């Protein structure tokens, strides 16, 4: 990126992981910038002051004058655009951008293709899967965004392909992504404590399609259909029969196959990942990979070995014929519904679900249908256990547990051979844990103690 000659500066709002990455990138580019954070002790304050002692840092309430004097504002995803100083700056014409915009400008200038993936659930799995497909194909691929490293930290001269997971928070202030291929995997209510309604959340997700060259669409979810020009190539995936050139499932003899049009690609039973939801994830990854020219044999070979991500429908143990599954990354309603509907069909017994935590304003009534079909008991924990109870009351069996340890103990007592104990909380973890990883690790530790 060329040096910008101006008396004005870029203002980085938020000194978390993303803000630090932007500060490091701007310093390398020789661009003038300042940093602001509403917290008295943001998490990366010490690192920034050690690395760049001359960088102006403003702590406390965001100042209107500071925001109005900036050439542009780079907004970290944890900060709402409704902050009064940001609203004033936007009204005055100050561009408010995301780190993703900064990344995309540099990546496009270098001519490196970008795969951009968002959705209410499964985006980490699909992002990682496409990244692994590219590695299998021999490409030097950089994977990150909302997953792993911030996007600007991925920029390098020797990268062949960028694969980004993007959250709605990141996309809110992204104005010119221009991805080679973009996808909204699915849309279900999440972060309703930040958005006024589902439509506002939906609109944030769909910013991933801005100026994209191709789009991948979930034909089974109408909320993923993009409003893009006719010049944008659209490829669809579905758990039904695929149309010509599209991705879906076909029956070949007694087996179900991943297919493109009439062409069978791989028997579903040969996939290393299990669950119906992961079949959809595989189809999405195939469509995305094809859009950037990944060879089909490399993609199929990856599906035969890719077992999924930690804390995402991860098998912990089988005790007395009962599988214990860690889906702690199921931090919203859609992810938990997908897990239930993915794991329930064909199960010899029933699912005992452990759910609860910080519900982020969600309406949990969508749990009723899959729990009615596949559930044996739901064990409620955490801050919003009462809200989930209100949705389930008199419809499906549930009980409360004071914490994860009691929930695992109760599940162990109630499960019989053929059942499945599933931690898929449909909630964030911050009422009791530092992260969903810590929550999943605790669940796994408690399960191992049963053996």
On whether the CB atoms of residues 105 and 178 are closer than 8 A, the answer is no
Q: 4 vs 9, 31, 63, 96, 322, CA distance in Å?
A: 9, 6, 24, 17, 61
pLDDT at 259 over 80: yes
Q: Is the pTM of this model over 0.85?
A: yes
1, with CB counted inside 10 A (0-12, 13-18, 19+), is: middle
pLDDT at 2 over 60: no
The catalytic residue among 121, 186, 191, 376 is 191
What are the beta bridge partners of residue 421? 324, 352
Predicted confidence band of residue 367 (pLDDT cuts 50, 70, 90): very high
Predicted confidence band of residue 195 (pLDDT cuts 50, 70, 90): confident
In the annotation, is 146 catalytic? yes
In the annotation, is 123 catalytic? yes
Q: Could you say which architecture CATH assigns to the domain 314-448?
A: Alpha-Beta Complex (3.90)
Domain locations in the chain as residue ranges: 10-97, 101-303, 314-448
What order of strands is seen across the sheet that includes strand 375-380? 314-319, 322-326, 420-423, 351-355, 375-380, 398-400
Least confident stretch, 30-39, 149-158, 187-196: 187-196
pLDDT in tens, 279-291: 999 999 999 999 9
pLDDT at 5 over 80: no
Q: Does domain 101-303 have CATH number 3.40.1190.10?
A: yes
**pLDDT average, residue stretch 205-221:** 97
**pLDDT average, residue stretch 85-105:** 97
What are the beta bridge partners of residue 205? none
Predicted confidence band of residue 194 (pLDDT cuts 50, 70, 90): confident
pLDDT at 261 over 70: yes
What proportion of the chain, given as a percentage, has pLDDT over 90?
A: 94
Name the average pLDDT for the chain: 95
pLDDT in tens, 112-165: 999 999 999 999 999 999 999 999 999 999 999 999 999 999 999 999 999 999
The catalytic residue among 58, 64, 135, 146 is 146
DSSP state of 335: H
Looking at 3.30.70.580, 2.40.50.140, 3.40.50.970, 3.40.50.720, the CATH number of the domain 10-97 comes to 3.40.50.720
pLDDT for residue 229: 95
By residue count, the chain amounts to 451
- CA 156, CA 223: separation in Å to the nearest integer? 35
pLDDT for residue 1: 36
């Amino acid at each position: 990126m060329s040096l910008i000659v101006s008396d004005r500066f870029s203002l980085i709002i938020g000194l978390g992981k993303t803000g630090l990455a932007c500060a490091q990138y701007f310093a390398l580019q020789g661009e003038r910038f300042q940093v602001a954070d509403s917290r008295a002790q943001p998490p990366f304050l010490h690192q920034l002051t050690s690395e760049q002692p001359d960088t102006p840092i403003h702590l406390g309430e965001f100042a209107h004058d500071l925001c109005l004097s900036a050439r542009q504002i780079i907004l970290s995803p944890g900060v709402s655009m409704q902050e009064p100083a940001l609203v004033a700056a936007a009204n005055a014409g100050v561009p408010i951008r995301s780190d993703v915009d900064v990344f995309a400008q540099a990546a496009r200038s270098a001519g490196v293709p970008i795969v951009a993936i968002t959705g209410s659930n499964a985006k980490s799995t699909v992002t990682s899967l496409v990244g692994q497909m590219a590695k299998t194909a021999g490409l030097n691929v950089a994977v990150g965004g909302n997953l792993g490293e911030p996007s600007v930290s991925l920029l390098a001269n020797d990268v062949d392909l960028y694969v980004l997971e993007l959250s709605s928070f990141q996309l809110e202030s992204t104005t010119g992504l221009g991805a080679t291929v973009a996808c909204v995997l699915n849309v279900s209510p999440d972060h309703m404590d930040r958005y006024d309604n589902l439509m506002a959340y939906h609109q944030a997700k769909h910013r991933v399609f801005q100026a994209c060259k191709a789009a991948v669409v979930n034909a089974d979810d109408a909320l993923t259909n993009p409003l893009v020009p006719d010049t944008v190539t659209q490829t669809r995936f579905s758990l039904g029969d695929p149309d010509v050139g599209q991705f879906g499932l076909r029956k070949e003899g007694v087996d179900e196959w991943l297919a493109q049009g009439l062409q069978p690609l791989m028997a579903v039973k040969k996939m290393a990942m299990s669950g119906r939801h992961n079949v959809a994830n595989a189809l999405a990854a195939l469509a995305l990979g094809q859009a950037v020219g990944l060879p089909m044999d490399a993609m199929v070979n990856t599906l035969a070995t890719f077992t999924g991500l930690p804390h995402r429908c991860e098998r912990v143990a089988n005790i007395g014929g009962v599988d214990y599954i860690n889906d702690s990354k199921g931090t919203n309603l859609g992810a938990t519904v997908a897990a239930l509907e993915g794991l329930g069909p064909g199960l010899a017994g029933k699912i005992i679900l452990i759910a609860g935590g910080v519900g982020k304003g969600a309406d949990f009534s969508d749990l009723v249908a899959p729990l009615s079909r596949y559930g044996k008991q739901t064990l409620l924990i955490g801050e919003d256990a009462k809200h989930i109870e209100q949705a389930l009351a008199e419809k499906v069996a549930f009980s409360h547990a004071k914490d994860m340890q009691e929930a695992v103990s109760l599940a162990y007592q109630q499960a019989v051979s053929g059942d499945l104990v599933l931690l898929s909380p449909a909630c964030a973890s911050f009422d009791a844990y530092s992260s969903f990883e810590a929550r999943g690790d605790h669940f796994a530790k408690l399960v191992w103690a049963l053996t």
